[in-house]
Structure 1
Amino acid sequence: MSDLEPPRPRTERKQHVLTRLQQDEDLWAATASARDEPCLVPLSFVWDTGETRDGRLDEGTLLLCTRRNNPTARNLTPNGEVRISLGHTRDVVLIEGTAEKVEGSDLPKASADAFATKLVWDPRDRHAWVYLRVTLRSVKAWREENELPERELMRDGEWLV
């Protein structure tokens, strides 16, 4: 007999993910070098909704920042694959996406301002730093084993719920 809470509907999980993206400050970012050497690092982020279509909150990109010579930034070429994780092992949000490097001078002012305001840190004029804009391709979320069958919330960049 299990003491697990009943599984949350996928719509509730999506809202939970969006809330986490808006409120959390840090995530785990995983990349791999050309020699398949993994790199997993904590990075601060902002959920950058910028100009959204139809005023919806569920469209956006993750905006991260790291030193340009760190493995995370170097590993993004040529295809920019990145895996992101929020939460702990009993409240997982797992994101796969594509990251592109963006120089601080090329970042829209609203995006850079949102990053600086949320994280109380403004690297846009520091040459040693580069922003990483992550476009989400897939999102999975679950808390316990009973939520695994319907953990997929986004596929190929489109929300399923």
Structure 2
Amino acid sequence: MARTQAAPRTGAQRERDVLTRLSEDKDAWVATATRDGEPSLVPLSFLWWDDTLLLNTRRANPTARDLARGGRALISLGHTRDVVLLEATGEVLPEGGLPETVGEAFVAKAGWDPRGRELWAFLRLRPRSIRAWREVNEMDGRHLMRDGRWLV
């Protein structure tokens, strides 16, 4: 049976859908790489905060080490028929570098509290590029952000 393809979304609708995902989704796939190009891909809980993604992982995990060294990550939300890809720059926040209200919001969304655990670190990623599409008919116009600026 042939699948009926919905009409492509406008850029404005895609932006709204991306912002909804960033606000409502709890987890994302996060990819980083070592200097030698060794990849790491892990699922992490996140909070959309001040136009950035706030994530948490162990300080010794490749994601935190790679981000501290290289400052770049690729983040994926959704599934293969509703893709959101973000290229981001970021940092590992210093211990105590997270406002209390933001920490509380992360705990409420993620369902667990990593604060105060010395082996854990918060990561803050700022999107530089965002692409979103559902089907082939949305490949044109999939770039919603470039160089940290919304295009729509």
TM-score (ref. length: structure 2): 0.95
5+ long unaligned stretches in structure 1: 50-59
Larger displacement relative to structure 2 (124-133 or 74-83): 74-83
| Cα deviation 1:16-71 (Å, max 9, x = unaligned) | 0000000000000000011100000000001013xxxxxxxxxx110000000001
Aligned twin of 1:53: none
Q: Tell me if the contact between 1:48 and 1:114 (Cα under 8 Å) persists in the aligned partners.
A: no
Mapping 1:136-151, distance limit 5 Å:
136-151=127-142
Distance 1:10 1:131, change over 3 A: same
CA RMSD of aligned residues (A): 1.3
Q: Tell me if the contact between 1:21 and 1:47 (Cα under 8 Å) persists in the aligned partners.
A: yes
Aligned twin of 1:83: 74
Aligned twin of 2:13: 12
Q: Tell me if the contact between 1:43 and 1:65 (Cα under 8 Å) persists in the aligned partners.
A: yes
SS at match of 1:77: helix
Aligned twin of 2:58: 67
Aligned twin of 1:41: 42
SS at match of 1:134: strand
SS at match of 2:15: helix
Between the aligned partners of 2:54 and 2:143, the Cα distance in structure 1 is 22
Q: Tell me if the contact between 2:35 and 2:70 (Cα under 8 Å) persists in the aligned partners.
A: no
* Structure 1 runs of 4+ with >4 Å offset: none
5+ long unaligned stretches in structure 2: none
Between the aligned partners of 1:79 and 1:40, the Cα distance in structure 2 is 15
| Cα deviation 1:95-147 (Å, max 9, x = unaligned) | 00011001341111121111011112111200010000001101000000010
Between the aligned partners of 2:129 and 2:86, the Cα distance in structure 1 is 6
Between the aligned partners of 1:63 and 1:149, the Cα distance in structure 2 is 30
Query: Which of 111, 114, 118 is the equivalent residue of 2:102?
Result: 111
Aligned twin of 2:32: 31
Between the aligned partners of 1:78 and 1:145, the Cα distance in structure 2 is 36
Give the superposition deviation at 1:78: 2.9
